[in-house]
């Protein structure tokens, strides 16, 4: 009987549920195991992702370094070729135009720089190469300046936040400075009105009326605040119509020609300036050429100002550095003048640290700026000073250009 009882007890004991504490501990062990496995998997994924990320970053750095080196190599080659043969007009306007057009585009993948001619090439080939490189650099810089680096500067449309009324195209021609109107007048009226079906008649009138009337028309399409502008309700379609006009072959040709026809005067002025300052045979730098091309396209020329006028600035009372005097003037802008706040920022940057090499050309630009309309004078000098110093604020952005870097 005792044996039966003991057997029954053993069987019952074996078939009874395990205590809750034991199950809980078992579950915790399982949970810890799963957690550790998950953690290791997560760490493995993170490490793999980090290695991939580092690999991508290193690849990008290598590509960037290769592109930068190629850029420096080509710049050095251009500089050497320029020293060998100078900067002389070697391209016809027709030959310069496709260079200008391509330079205004910002491809997603940078195009390789043109291959320099071999050492055995004829001087004419070397001169053409140098001129093409200078044109390309200048147009890349100025079109980026104007548009902030949009994909294609020829389609630039900027509202009148800067008191310019309306700005179009790769070199930022405006209603306010009265340099956009002559370009539009080269187009057939029918083309303008057919392309801009709703606003074409008004736009044609704006470009064929006195400046004040043109400003009134284009500003009526916008709500303009302090440093801001947006399309007025009902006028949002103006931008699409303007871009359609800018896309026409006729308007593209007008833009390109407006730059190409100023190339030779800019080369002559840059050479004359370099040789007046540094002696016969001196070759202008890319910065000097870029400044003169921008000056001729935007201001029509140097306004009969030259080295003699600059030299007189050094004879002023008190013997104060004329660059500091110009910067003090630059900082004196007031509300109602285009980008006067950015002019003040530039004055602070340049007052103590403007490149000595370009001081005289900065002063020439100051004299030219003072011939502009009063509301745009400081913007003109801010623009030219930024090109010469390769450091400055224009159009609400601080700029430095790889094309203008100097060793």
* Residue 149 DSSP symbol: S
Closest by Cα among 234, 232, 233, 207 to 219:
232
pLDDT at 4: 47
Q: How many helices (H) and strands (E) does the chain have?
A: 17, 7
Mean pLDDT of the chain: 85
Closest by Cα among 266, 256, 339 to 300:
266
Q: Which residue has the higher pLDDT, 150 or 271?
A: 271
Instruction: For residue 38, give both structure tokens.
Output: 């998950």
Cβ-based burial of 261 (10 A; exposed 0-12, middle 13-18, buried ≥19): middle
Arithmetic mean of pLDDT, 263-278:
95
pLDDT tens-place string over residues 321-356: 999 999 999 999 888 888 899 999 999 999 988 999
What are the start-end ranges of the H helices in 86-175?
93-103, 123-147
* Residue 152 DSSP symbol: B
pLDDT at 63: 40
- Report CA torsion sign: 341, 383, 387, 247: positive
Q: Which residue has the higher pLDDT, 22 or 105?
A: 105
Cα–Cα dist 333/177, whole Å: 18
pTM of the model: 0.78
Q: 104 and 259 in contact (C-beta within 8 Å)?
A: no
Range from 12-16, 144-148, 334-338, 356-360 carrying the lowest mean pLDDT: 12-16
Cβ-based burial of 379 (10 A; exposed 0-12, middle 13-18, buried ≥19): buried
Query: 314 CB contacts (<8 Å, ≥6 apart)?
Result: 322
Query: 165 CB contacts (<8 Å, ≥6 apart)?
Result: 174, 175, 176, 214, 215, 218, 219
Give yes or no for residue 12 having a pLDDT over 50: no
pLDDT at 61: 53
pLDDT at 34: 60
Q: Which residue has the higher pLDDT, 338 or 176?
A: 176
């Amino acid at each position: 009987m005792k044996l039966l009882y003991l057997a029954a007890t053993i069987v019952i004991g074996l078939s009874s549920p395990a205590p809750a504490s034991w199950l809980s501990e078992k579950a915790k062990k399982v949970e810890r195991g799963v957690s550790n496995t998950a953690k290791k998997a997560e760490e493995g994924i993170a490490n793999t992702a980090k290695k991939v990320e580092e690999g991508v970053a290193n690849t990008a750095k290598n590509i960037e370094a290769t592109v930068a080196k190629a850029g420096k190599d080509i710049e050095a080659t251009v500089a050497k070729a320029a020293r060998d043969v100078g900067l002389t007009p070697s391209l016809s306007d027709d030959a310069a135009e496709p260079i200008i057009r391509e330079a205004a585009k910002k491809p997603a993948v940078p195009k390789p720089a043109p291959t320099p001619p071999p050492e055995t090439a004829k001087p004419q080939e070397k001169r053409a190469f140098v001129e093409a490189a200078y044109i390309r650099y200048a147009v890349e810089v100025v079109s980026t300046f104007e548009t902030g680096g949009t994909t294609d500067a020829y389609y630039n449309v900027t509202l009148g936040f800067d008191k310019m009324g309306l700005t179009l195209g790769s070199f930022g021609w405006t209603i306010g400075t009265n340099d956009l109107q002559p370009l539009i007048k080269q187009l057939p009226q029918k083309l303008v009105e057919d392309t801009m079906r709703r606003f074409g008649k008004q736009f044609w009138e704006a470009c064929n009326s006195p400046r004040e009337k043109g400003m009134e028309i284009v500003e009526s399409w916008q709500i303009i605040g302090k440093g801001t502008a947006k399309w007025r309700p009902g006028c949002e379609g103006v931008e699409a119509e303007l871009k359609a006009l800018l896309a026409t072959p006729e308007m593209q040709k007008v833009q390109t020609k407006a730059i190409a026809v100023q190339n030779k005067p800019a080369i002559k002025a840059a050479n004359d300036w370099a040789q007046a300052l540094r002696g016969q045979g001196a070759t202008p730098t890319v910065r000097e050429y870029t400044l003169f091309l921008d000056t001729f396209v935007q201001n029509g020329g140097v306004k009969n100002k030259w080295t003699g006028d600059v030299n007189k600035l050094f004879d002023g009372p008190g013997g104060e550095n004329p660059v500091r005097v110009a910067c003090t003037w630059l900082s004196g802008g007031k509300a109602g003048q285009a980008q006067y706040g950015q002019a003040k920022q530039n004055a602070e940057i340049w007052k103590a640290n403007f490149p000595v090499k370009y001081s005289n050309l900065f002063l020439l630009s100051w004299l030219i700026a003072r011939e502009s309309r009063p509301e745009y004078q400081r913007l003109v000098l801010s623009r030219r000073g930024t090109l010469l110093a390769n450091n400055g604020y224009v159009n609400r952005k601080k700029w430095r250009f790889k094309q203008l870097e100097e060793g």
